[in-house]
Amino acid sequence: MTTLSTRNLVIDIPERAAGTALDLTIAPGQIWGVLGPNGAGKTTLLHTLAGLRAPRLGNVLLDGEALRGQRRKRVARALAVVFQERQDGFPATVLETVLIGRHPYLAPWDMETADDVTIARRALARMELDGLESRLVSTLSGGERQRVAIATALAQTPDLWLADEPTNHLDLRHQVAVMDLLRHEADAGCGIFLCLHDINLAARWCDHLLLLYPDGEACWGPTDRMLVPEALERLYRQPLARAEVDGAQVFVPAGAGTPQPARPEPHGRHRS
Protein backbone atom coordinates (compact mmCIF):
# COMPACT_ATOMS: atom_id res chain seq x y z
CA MET A 1 0.00 0.00 0.00
CA THR A 2 1.60 3.21 -1.15
CA THR A 3 0.24 6.72 -1.33
CA LEU A 4 1.46 9.35 -3.75
CA SER A 5 0.68 12.92 -2.84
CA THR A 6 1.66 16.40 -3.90
CA ARG A 7 2.16 19.46 -1.77
CA ASN A 8 1.78 22.86 -3.44
CA LEU A 9 2.97 21.31 -6.67
CA VAL A 10 3.45 23.56 -9.70
CA ILE A 11 4.70 21.75 -12.76
CA ASP A 12 7.39 23.43 -14.80
CA ILE A 13 6.11 24.40 -18.22
CA PRO A 14 8.27 27.11 -19.77
CA GLU A 15 6.62 30.49 -20.27
CA ARG A 16 3.48 29.61 -18.40
CA ALA A 17 2.12 31.25 -15.28
CA ALA A 18 2.11 29.11 -12.16
CA GLY A 19 -1.65 28.54 -12.16
CA THR A 20 -3.18 26.38 -9.47
CA ALA A 21 -0.80 24.64 -7.07
CA LEU A 22 -1.81 21.00 -6.79
CA ASP A 23 -2.52 19.30 -3.47
CA LEU A 24 -3.54 15.80 -4.49
CA THR A 25 -3.52 12.50 -2.70
CA ILE A 26 -3.68 9.35 -4.76
CA ALA A 27 -4.67 6.84 -2.14
CA PRO A 28 -4.60 3.05 -2.52
CA GLY A 29 -7.70 1.86 -4.34
CA GLN A 30 -8.30 5.14 -6.18
CA ILE A 31 -8.25 5.70 -9.93
CA TRP A 32 -7.45 9.27 -10.88
CA GLY A 33 -8.00 10.53 -14.38
CA VAL A 34 -6.49 13.73 -15.79
CA LEU A 35 -8.48 15.45 -18.50
CA GLY A 36 -7.29 18.40 -20.49
CA PRO A 37 -6.75 19.65 -24.01
CA ASN A 38 -3.54 19.12 -25.96
CA GLY A 39 -0.63 20.97 -24.40
CA ALA A 40 -2.31 21.48 -21.03
CA GLY A 41 0.59 19.69 -19.33
CA LYS A 42 -0.90 16.26 -18.63
CA THR A 43 2.27 14.40 -19.61
CA THR A 44 4.49 16.91 -17.81
CA LEU A 45 2.40 16.42 -14.69
CA LEU A 46 2.67 12.65 -14.98
CA HIS A 47 6.46 12.81 -15.43
CA THR A 48 6.71 15.20 -12.47
CA LEU A 49 4.67 12.82 -10.32
CA ALA A 50 7.02 10.02 -11.35
CA GLY A 51 9.98 12.10 -10.22
CA LEU A 52 11.39 12.21 -13.76
CA ARG A 53 11.06 16.00 -14.00
CA ALA A 54 11.71 18.65 -11.43
CA PRO A 55 8.65 20.69 -10.44
CA ARG A 56 8.81 24.48 -10.51
CA LEU A 57 7.50 24.59 -6.96
CA GLY A 58 6.37 22.21 -4.30
CA ASN A 59 6.92 18.54 -3.67
CA VAL A 60 5.86 15.08 -4.69
CA LEU A 61 5.68 12.72 -1.75
CA LEU A 62 5.81 8.94 -1.81
CA ASP A 63 4.31 7.70 1.45
CA GLY A 64 4.91 11.14 2.94
CA GLU A 65 8.59 11.20 1.97
CA ALA A 66 9.92 13.55 -0.73
CA LEU A 67 10.31 11.63 -3.96
CA ARG A 68 13.38 13.53 -5.08
CA GLY A 69 16.42 12.18 -3.36
CA GLN A 70 14.97 8.72 -2.95
CA ARG A 71 16.85 5.91 -4.64
CA ARG A 72 15.38 5.42 -8.12
CA LYS A 73 15.52 1.67 -7.81
CA ARG A 74 13.44 1.77 -4.65
CA VAL A 75 10.97 4.13 -6.30
CA ALA A 76 10.78 1.82 -9.32
CA ARG A 77 9.62 -1.05 -7.11
CA ALA A 78 6.68 1.03 -5.91
CA LEU A 79 5.80 3.05 -8.97
CA ALA A 80 5.44 2.06 -12.61
CA VAL A 81 5.14 4.49 -15.51
CA VAL A 82 3.50 3.69 -18.84
CA PHE A 83 4.84 6.22 -21.33
CA GLN A 84 3.02 7.58 -24.30
CA GLU A 85 6.10 7.41 -26.46
CA ARG A 86 8.51 4.53 -26.58
CA GLN A 87 11.87 3.94 -28.18
CA ASP A 88 12.44 0.61 -29.82
CA GLY A 89 15.82 1.51 -31.31
CA PHE A 90 17.22 -1.99 -31.06
CA PRO A 91 15.31 -5.16 -31.82
CA ALA A 92 14.00 -7.03 -28.79
CA THR A 93 11.41 -9.74 -28.32
CA VAL A 94 8.13 -9.24 -26.50
CA LEU A 95 9.26 -11.41 -23.58
CA GLU A 96 12.61 -9.59 -23.30
CA THR A 97 10.78 -6.27 -23.31
CA VAL A 98 8.33 -7.29 -20.59
CA LEU A 99 11.16 -8.78 -18.51
CA ILE A 100 12.83 -5.38 -18.17
CA GLY A 101 9.96 -4.64 -15.77
CA ARG A 102 11.81 -6.92 -13.36
CA HIS A 103 14.94 -4.74 -13.50
CA PRO A 104 14.30 -2.92 -10.19
CA TYR A 105 14.22 -6.25 -8.34
CA LEU A 106 17.52 -7.61 -9.65
CA ALA A 107 21.06 -6.94 -8.45
CA PRO A 108 23.65 -6.04 -11.11
CA TRP A 109 25.05 -9.56 -11.45
CA ASP A 110 21.65 -11.32 -11.28
CA MET A 111 20.08 -12.94 -14.27
CA GLU A 112 16.29 -13.11 -14.44
CA THR A 113 15.08 -16.12 -12.48
CA ALA A 114 12.33 -18.58 -13.38
CA ASP A 115 10.05 -16.59 -11.08
CA ASP A 116 10.70 -13.41 -13.05
CA VAL A 117 9.87 -15.22 -16.27
CA THR A 118 6.69 -16.55 -14.69
CA ILE A 119 5.67 -13.04 -13.63
CA ALA A 120 6.40 -11.71 -17.12
CA ARG A 121 4.46 -14.53 -18.79
CA ARG A 122 1.51 -13.94 -16.49
CA ALA A 123 1.58 -10.24 -17.41
CA LEU A 124 1.62 -11.18 -21.10
CA ALA A 125 -1.31 -13.53 -20.60
CA ARG A 126 -3.33 -10.79 -18.86
CA MET A 127 -2.74 -8.57 -21.88
CA GLU A 128 -3.65 -11.44 -24.24
CA LEU A 129 -0.15 -11.41 -25.63
CA ASP A 130 0.73 -15.02 -24.88
CA GLY A 131 1.81 -16.63 -28.09
CA LEU A 132 3.57 -13.44 -29.19
CA GLU A 133 6.39 -13.68 -26.67
CA SER A 134 9.16 -14.52 -29.12
CA ARG A 135 8.03 -11.96 -31.71
CA LEU A 136 10.15 -8.87 -32.17
CA VAL A 137 8.37 -5.82 -30.75
CA SER A 138 9.13 -3.93 -33.95
CA THR A 139 6.93 -6.35 -35.90
CA LEU A 140 3.85 -5.72 -33.73
CA SER A 141 0.95 -3.38 -34.39
CA GLY A 142 0.57 -0.12 -32.45
CA GLY A 143 -2.11 -1.57 -30.20
CA GLU A 144 -0.06 -4.68 -29.49
CA ARG A 145 2.92 -2.51 -28.56
CA GLN A 146 0.73 -0.52 -26.22
CA ARG A 147 -0.29 -3.77 -24.54
CA VAL A 148 3.38 -4.80 -24.30
CA ALA A 149 4.05 -1.52 -22.47
CA ILE A 150 1.21 -2.20 -20.03
CA ALA A 151 2.40 -5.78 -19.55
CA THR A 152 5.89 -4.39 -18.77
CA ALA A 153 4.38 -2.21 -16.04
CA LEU A 154 2.41 -5.21 -14.76
CA ALA A 155 5.64 -7.21 -14.51
CA GLN A 156 7.00 -4.39 -12.38
CA THR A 157 4.31 -5.33 -9.79
CA PRO A 158 3.90 -1.71 -8.67
CA ASP A 159 1.73 -0.22 -5.94
CA LEU A 160 1.24 2.89 -8.03
CA TRP A 161 0.51 3.23 -11.73
CA LEU A 162 1.17 6.40 -13.67
CA ALA A 163 -0.09 5.78 -17.18
CA ASP A 164 -0.03 8.28 -20.03
CA GLU A 165 -2.92 7.51 -22.39
CA PRO A 166 -2.93 3.78 -21.61
CA THR A 167 -5.72 3.18 -24.13
CA ASN A 168 -3.85 4.77 -27.06
CA HIS A 169 -3.99 2.66 -30.23
CA LEU A 170 -6.24 0.10 -28.56
CA ASP A 171 -9.39 -1.27 -30.12
CA LEU A 172 -12.61 -0.94 -28.10
CA ARG A 173 -12.41 -4.37 -26.54
CA HIS A 174 -8.85 -3.86 -25.39
CA GLN A 175 -9.63 -0.35 -24.12
CA VAL A 176 -12.21 -1.94 -21.87
CA ALA A 177 -9.85 -4.77 -20.97
CA VAL A 178 -7.10 -2.32 -19.95
CA MET A 179 -9.44 -0.15 -17.91
CA ASP A 180 -10.87 -3.26 -16.23
CA LEU A 181 -7.36 -4.42 -15.46
CA LEU A 182 -6.54 -1.07 -13.86
CA ARG A 183 -9.79 -1.23 -11.87
CA HIS A 184 -8.75 -4.69 -10.72
CA GLU A 185 -5.30 -3.39 -9.72
CA ALA A 186 -6.95 -0.56 -7.78
CA ASP A 187 -9.26 -3.02 -6.01
CA ALA A 188 -6.14 -4.95 -5.04
CA GLY A 189 -4.79 -1.81 -3.33
CA CYS A 190 -2.95 0.08 -6.05
CA GLY A 191 -3.22 3.80 -6.63
CA ILE A 192 -3.77 4.67 -10.29
CA PHE A 193 -3.20 7.94 -12.11
CA LEU A 194 -4.09 8.19 -15.79
CA CYS A 195 -3.89 10.82 -18.50
CA LEU A 196 -6.92 10.31 -20.69
CA HIS A 197 -8.46 11.86 -23.74
CA ASP A 198 -11.73 10.00 -23.58
CA ILE A 199 -14.19 11.63 -21.15
CA ASN A 200 -16.37 8.55 -21.28
CA LEU A 201 -13.59 6.17 -20.22
CA ALA A 202 -12.80 8.60 -17.42
CA ALA A 203 -16.46 8.86 -16.41
CA ARG A 204 -16.89 5.11 -16.30
CA TRP A 205 -13.65 3.98 -14.64
CA CYS A 206 -12.14 6.86 -12.69
CA ASP A 207 -13.32 7.72 -9.21
CA HIS A 208 -11.42 11.01 -9.15
CA LEU A 209 -10.79 13.53 -11.90
CA LEU A 210 -8.34 16.36 -12.34
CA LEU A 211 -9.23 18.94 -14.97
CA LEU A 212 -6.11 20.66 -16.28
CA TYR A 213 -6.64 23.90 -18.20
CA PRO A 214 -4.08 25.24 -20.69
CA ASP A 215 -3.43 28.32 -18.55
CA GLY A 216 -2.33 26.15 -15.63
CA GLU A 217 -5.61 26.44 -13.74
CA ALA A 218 -6.83 23.12 -12.37
CA CYS A 219 -9.64 21.64 -10.33
CA TRP A 220 -10.06 18.18 -8.94
CA GLY A 221 -12.37 15.98 -6.92
CA PRO A 222 -14.60 12.92 -7.07
CA THR A 223 -15.74 12.07 -10.60
CA ASP A 224 -19.45 12.72 -10.14
CA ARG A 225 -18.72 16.25 -8.91
CA MET A 226 -16.28 17.00 -11.73
CA LEU A 227 -18.38 15.84 -14.67
CA VAL A 228 -20.16 19.15 -15.08
CA PRO A 229 -20.86 19.80 -18.76
CA GLU A 230 -20.04 23.53 -18.46
CA ALA A 231 -16.64 22.80 -16.91
CA LEU A 232 -15.84 20.19 -19.56
CA GLU A 233 -16.98 22.50 -22.37
CA ARG A 234 -14.70 25.22 -21.04
CA LEU A 235 -11.89 22.65 -20.71
CA TYR A 236 -12.07 21.47 -24.31
CA ARG A 237 -13.59 24.66 -25.78
CA GLN A 238 -16.09 22.37 -27.45
CA PRO A 239 -19.86 22.20 -26.94
CA LEU A 240 -20.89 18.83 -25.49
CA ALA A 241 -24.10 16.90 -25.38
CA ARG A 242 -24.81 14.60 -22.46
CA ALA A 243 -26.81 11.41 -22.56
CA GLU A 244 -27.47 8.64 -20.15
CA VAL A 245 -26.82 5.07 -21.23
CA ASP A 246 -27.48 2.23 -18.81
CA GLY A 247 -27.40 4.68 -15.93
CA ALA A 248 -23.99 6.10 -16.88
CA GLN A 249 -23.29 9.56 -18.24
CA VAL A 250 -21.98 9.75 -21.78
CA PHE A 251 -20.55 12.88 -23.38
CA VAL A 252 -20.38 13.47 -27.11
CA PRO A 253 -19.36 16.56 -29.09
CA ALA A 254 -22.41 18.65 -29.83
CA GLY A 255 -23.16 20.77 -32.89
CA ALA A 256 -20.83 21.15 -35.80
CA GLY A 257 -18.11 22.80 -33.74
CA THR A 258 -15.99 25.16 -35.79
CA PRO A 259 -17.23 25.13 -39.38
CA GLN A 260 -14.67 23.55 -41.73
CA PRO A 261 -14.40 24.22 -45.45
CA ALA A 262 -16.04 21.40 -47.39
CA ARG A 263 -13.58 18.82 -48.63
CA PRO A 264 -14.22 15.66 -50.61
CA GLU A 265 -13.86 12.52 -48.53
CA PRO A 266 -11.17 10.23 -49.94
CA HIS A 267 -11.97 6.57 -50.49
CA GLY A 268 -10.39 4.08 -48.09
CA ARG A 269 -8.77 6.17 -45.41
CA HIS A 270 -5.58 5.10 -43.69
CA ARG A 271 -5.95 4.04 -40.12
CA SER A 272 -4.09 6.31 -37.78
Partner 1 sequence: MSAADGGVSPTAAPSAGIGVGRLIPPLLVLLVIALASVLIAVAIGSVHIPPAELWAVFTGDGSPLHRTLVLELRAPRALAAFAVGGLLAVAGALMQVLLRNPLADPYVLGLSGGAAVGALASMLLGMGAAVVSGSAFIGALLSTVLVFGLAHGTGSWTPTRLLLTGVVVAAGWGAVITFMLAVGPTEQLPGMLYWLMGDLTYARTPWVAFAVLLGTCLLVLPLGRSLNVLARGPLQAAALGVPVRALEWSIYIGASLITAVAVTTAGSIGFVGLVVPHMLRLVLGNDQRLILPAAALAGGALLALADTLARTMIAPEQLPVGVITALLGVPTFLYLLYRSR
The residues binding partner 1 (CB under 8 A) are 47, 50, 52, 71-77, 79-81, 83, 86-93, 95-97, 99-101, 103-104, 106, 108-114, 116-117, 128, 131-136, 139, 141, 144, 156
Q: Smallest distance from the beta carbon of 242 to partner 1, in angstroms?
A: 35
Q: Smallest distance from the beta carbon of 23 to partner 1, in angstroms?
A: 24
- The closest alpha carbon to 156, from 105, 91, 84, belongs to 105
Q: Per residue, what are the HEC states of 219-254?
A: EEEEHHHHCCHHHHHHHHCCCEEEEEECCEEEEEEC
Query: CA-to-CA distance for 222 and 195, rounded, in angstroms?
Result: 16
Smaller CB separation from partner 1, 10 or 50: 50
Q: Smallest distance from the beta carbon of 140 to partner 1, in angstroms?
A: 9
- The closest alpha carbon to 96, from 81, 108, 111, belongs to 111
State the DSSP code for 21: P
Smaller CB separation from partner 1, 152 or 167: 152
Smaller CB separation from partner 1, 45 or 80: 80
Query: CA-to-CA distance for 84 and 161, rounded, in angstroms?
Result: 14
Smaller CB separation from partner 1, 86 or 122: 86
Query: CA-to-CA distance for 199 and 223, rounded, in angstroms?
Result: 11
Q: Smallest distance from the beta carbon of 66 to partner 1, in angstroms?
A: 17
Which residues share a beta bridge with 35? Answer: 211
Smaller CB separation from partner 1, 39 or 91: 91
Q: Is 160 helix (H, G, I), strand (E, B) or coil?
A: strand
Smaller CB separation from partner 1, 143 or 229: 143
Q: Smallest distance from the beta carbon of 260 to partner 1, in angstroms?
A: 34
* CA 7 and chain centroid, separation: 21
Based on C-alpha coordinates, what's the Rg of the chain? Answer: 20
User: Is the CB of residue 31 less than 8 Å from the CB of residue 205?
Assistant: yes
Q: Smallest distance from the beta carbon of 251 to partner 1, in angstroms?
A: 31
